[in-house]
Structure 1
Amino acid sequence: MQLIDAAALHRSTGDSRSLRRRYARGELVRVRKGVYAAKDEWISLPPWERYRQTILAVNLELPSSKFCLNTAAVLWNLEMLAVPDHVHLAGASRGHRGRSLPTTSAARMPSGLCGLEGLTSYGVARHASRGPTIAFGGLQITPLPETVVAVIARENFAAGTVLADHAIGMRRTSGPRVSKDELLGHAARLESGARRRWVTQVLNFAVANSGSAGESLSRAQMHLLGFPAPLLQANFRAGGHFIARTDFFWPQFKLIGEFDGDAKYLRDEYLGDQTSRQAVLAEKKREDKLRAAGFRVVRWDWATASDAARLGAVLRNAGLPNSGTRAKRTL
C-alpha cells in the first residue's frame, strides 16, 4: 500500500487541493495529519499491517521520530500477543509526554457512515528518553535487546513469554540474532529492582525451541496453572521409522499435546504442495500412528490457549494433573 504525503505532493506538483477533494468524495483515509491512503486499500489491510502503516504515517507527519517499546518490537518483526494500542515514541520532553487519541478518519457519506466503522485506529504515546536509537528499515528505533527487555518489563507473564521465546528462538528468520544471556545482561541493568526480577523470571523461562506464538502462550499458561513442564519438539519413531515431532509431551503420562493454529491448514508457507484437505488428512494419519503406539493425544486452538480456564480444563480432562492453584507468577 502507498501512503500519500500531502507536503511532498505539494512540493513536487504544487497541488494542495486534490487530496482534500478525494477525501471529501470518500476515496481517501486521512491516517495522520497530511498523510493519506486509499480507503479501499486501508480497509482491506489486516490489523497488524494497518498498525505498521500507521507507524510509517507517524514518521511522515513527525520526521525523525524515535520509536520504542511495543512499536519498536513490531518493527523488529517480533511476535506479540496483540496489536499495540498506540504508536510509541521516545524522547518526549516533560510537557509533551502522554497519550493522544487516534487521528485516522474518513469523510462521512450520505449514508452517514465513513467506512471505518469497526476498524481500530492507533493514537500516539510519547515517552521520556529511552536511550539511544539506531537506524533499521529506514526508521529510528530502540536497539533489539533494549526493546525486548523494555516490553517484557511492562507485559504479563504470558505476553512476555511469547515475545522472549521468539526473540531468542530458532524459528525467527528476520532481523539480527539476540541471545538469552545478552537479554539477561540488559535486564540486570534496569533501575527498578522489581522490574529486574520480573524480566529475569520471564527470560529464564524462555526457550529457543518453541514452535510458534501459540505454543509459547500455551506453555506459559500451563506454567501459571501449575501443570508439569512438558518436553518440547519431541521426536517419535516406530519400527525404525519417524512418525512425528510433537509440540508438547509428558512422558510420565504418555500424553502428547498439540497446538492447532489456523495457519497450519490455511497458509501456503505451511501447506507446501498440499491442499488444506490433504493437510487435515495427513494430520489425522499422523495422530492415528501416535495413538497406535500407545500415546494419548490432546489438541487445542488459539481461543483455548488464550483462556487459562479453558486450557486447564482441556488438559485435566486429558488426564494431566496440576496443583489446582495459579502460580504466584501471575501477581
Structure 2
Amino acid sequence: MDIMTTTPADPMRLIRSRLHVDGSHTTSSLSQAVRRGEMLRLRRSVYVPASQWFQAYPWDRHLMAAAAHALWRPDSVFCRETALALHGLPLLRTPRVVHVRTARRQQVGRRRPAPMTGTASDAVVREMLSRERGPEGQRLTAHDLNGVSTRRVLTPEPSLDVEVLGGPPGLGQVLRVELLEAAVMDTLPRLRFDEAVVVLDALRAGRHRRPTELSQDSLGQWEHLLTSRMATQRWTLAWEVSDPAAESPGESLSRARMVEAGLLLPELQKVFDLPDGSRARVDFWWPELGLVGEFDGKMKYTRARELSGVDVAQAVFEEKVREDQLRALGLGVVRWCWPEASHPTSLGRLLREVGVPEG
C-alpha cells in the first residue's frame, strides 16, 4: 500500500514544447530525446526527464501528471481525489487517473494518454528500464511506463467554486482546483470508509495547504453535494469516526479497522512518564486493559535520518528501549505495521488475541 502525501519536496522539471522566433519548434528535439530514452511524454507537448519520472514515488507521479495536464490545458479545473491531493491531503491509495471537470457530457469518462515512450524502439525502452532505478533503488518494469490517464467528470449545477493553488515545487505554476470544502464533500462519500477516515483525520487536524481551519459548519454549506441517502450516511459515519488527534495516515487506517471489527476504541496520543525520566506519547491506549498500541510505519524509520539526524538502526534501538520502559510500568504493548493495517481483518484478529474486547 502506498500513502499519497503532500506535494513533493524535490523540485520538478517539466518541459513544454514551444515555437522559437526563427519558426523552429522544440517538439522535434524533444521527440528525439524521447526516442533516445532521455525524456518521457506526459501529455501532448509536455515532457519530463526519464530519470525524474522513474525516481518519483507513485503519488509524486500523479502530481506530475496533474501539473503536465495544467501546462497542456491551463483552464482545467481539478476535482475529486486529484483536488484533495493538490490541497495537500493524504490519500490511502494513489489515484490512477487525474480528475478534471468538463461541462460537456459527451467528454465524460476516462481517456488514456499517448505512450510515454513515443516511437522509441523496444531496444531503447529495455535499455532505459535497465539503466534507471526507482525511488528506493529498485529495478524498473514496463509498469513504470504506464502513463496516468485523465478522467473527465461532469461539472455539477451550479458549478463549484475554484481556488488557485501553486503547483508542485520547481514549476512556478498555478493550478485551478475546486474549493477544498467542496472537493471534500463531493469526494469522500465515493471513497471506502478507511480512505475517508484518513482524509478527514488530516483535514480536521489542519494537515492541508489551507492556512485557515475548516469547521463542520463551513463543510455543511456544501451538503447539497451529498446527492443520495447512502452518500449522506457514508459521510456522517466517516465524520463521526474521524479524530484530529491521529498523527499519521497509518494511525487513521488502524482506527478505521478497529471500527470495522467492532472493537473497543482506544484513547489517542496518551503520554506516559517513564522510569528513566523521559516521556513517551503512544499512538493508542486502552486504559481498561492497561494496553498500549503502536503503529510502526515504514516511514517512521526510513525517514529517521532526514527528520532528526538519527540513522535507522539508532531509531529502531531507541524504539526498543522505549518499549522496554513502557513494559517496566506494567503496561502491555502490541505493535503492528502496514500489512496488518492494510488487510481487512488482520488487525482486528491481532487485537482480539491480546484481549481487546468488542466496543
Give the TM-score taking structure 2 as reference length. Answer: 0.83
- 1:175 maps to which of 182, 191, 210: 210
Q: Distance in 2 between matches of 1:11 and 1:59?
A: 24
Are positions 1:205 and 2:234 aligned together? no
Q: State the match for 1:327 in structure 2.
A: none
Q: State the match for 1:157 in structure 2.
A: 193
Is contact 1:187–1:200 with CA below 8 Å preserved after alignment? Answer: no
Moved more, 26-35 or 290-299: 26-35
Are positions 1:126 and 2:152 aligned together? yes
Moved more, 249-258 or 177-186: 177-186
Q: Distance in 1 between matches of 2:44 and 2:217?
A: 42
Is contact 1:264–1:270 with CA below 8 Å preserved after alignment? Answer: no
Any idea what SS the aligned residue of 1:80 has?
coil
Any idea what SS the aligned residue of 1:280 has?
helix
Q: Distance in 1 between matches of 2:22 and 2:303?
A: 41
Q: Distance in 1 between matches of 2:303 and 2:150?
A: 32
Q: Which structure has the higher relative contact order (CA within 8 Å, separation 6+)? A: 2
Amino acid at match of 2:25: D
Q: CA RMSD in A?
A: 2.2
Aligned ranges 1:213-252 → 2 under 5 Å:
213-238=249-274, 241-252=277-288
Q: Distance in 1 between matches of 2:252 and 2:217?
A: 19
State how many pairs are aligned: 321
The percentage of counterpart residues that share the same residue type is 34
- 1:27 maps to which of 11, 18, 38: 38
Amino acid at match of 1:226: G
Residue 77 to residue 112, structure 1, CA distance change in 2 (3 Å): closer
Q: Distance in 2 between matches of 1:247 and 1:85?
A: 31
Are positions 1:135 and 2:164 aligned together? yes
Aligned ranges 1:1-331 → 2 under 5 Å:
1-6=12-17, 8=18, 10=20, 14-16=24-26, 17-106=28-117, 107-110=120-123, 113=126, 115=129, 117-119=142-144, 120-130=146-156, 131-137=160-166, 138-170=174-206, 172=207, 174-176=209-211, 177-187=213-223, 190-238=226-274, 241-268=277-304, 271-322=307-358
Moved more, 116-125 or 90-99: 116-125
Residue 274 to residue 173, structure 1, CA distance change in 2 (3 Å): farther
Is contact 2:62–2:96 with CA below 8 Å preserved after alignment? Answer: no
Moved more, 129-138 or 147-156: 129-138
Any idea what SS the aligned residue of 2:334 has?
strand
Identify unmatched segments of 5+ residues in structure 2: 1-11, 130-140, 167-173
Is contact 2:100–2:153 with CA below 8 Å preserved after alignment? Answer: yes
Q: State the match for 1:328 in structure 2.
A: none
Residues 161-205 of structure 1 deviation map (CA, whole Å, 9 limit, x = unaligned): 0001001115x2633332344334433663323212221221121
Any idea what SS the aligned residue of 2:222 has?
helix
Residue 273 to residue 29, structure 1, CA distance change in 2 (3 Å): closer
Moved more, 26-35 or 264-273: 264-273
Identify unmatched segments of 5+ residues in structure 1: 324-331
Is contact 2:43–2:114 with CA below 8 Å preserved after alignment? Answer: yes
Q: Distance in 1 between matches of 2:65 and 2:199?
A: 22
Residue 184 to residue 227, structure 1, CA distance change in 2 (3 Å): farther
Any idea what SS the aligned residue of 1:253 has?
coil
Residue 104 to residue 181, structure 1, CA distance change in 2 (3 Å): farther
Is contact 2:111–2:150 with CA below 8 Å preserved after alignment? Answer: yes
Q: Distance in 2 between matches of 1:35 and 1:199?
A: 38
**How far apart are residue 242 of structure 1 and its match?**
4.7
Amino acid at match of 1:58: H
Residue 179 to residue 227, structure 1, CA distance change in 2 (3 Å): same
Q: State the match for 2:7 in structure 1.
A: none
Moved more, 123-132 or 70-79: 123-132
Q: Distance in 2 between matches of 1:124 and 1:61?
A: 12
Give the TM-score taking structure 1 as reference length. Answer: 0.90
**How far apart are residue 2 of structure 1 and its match?**
1.4
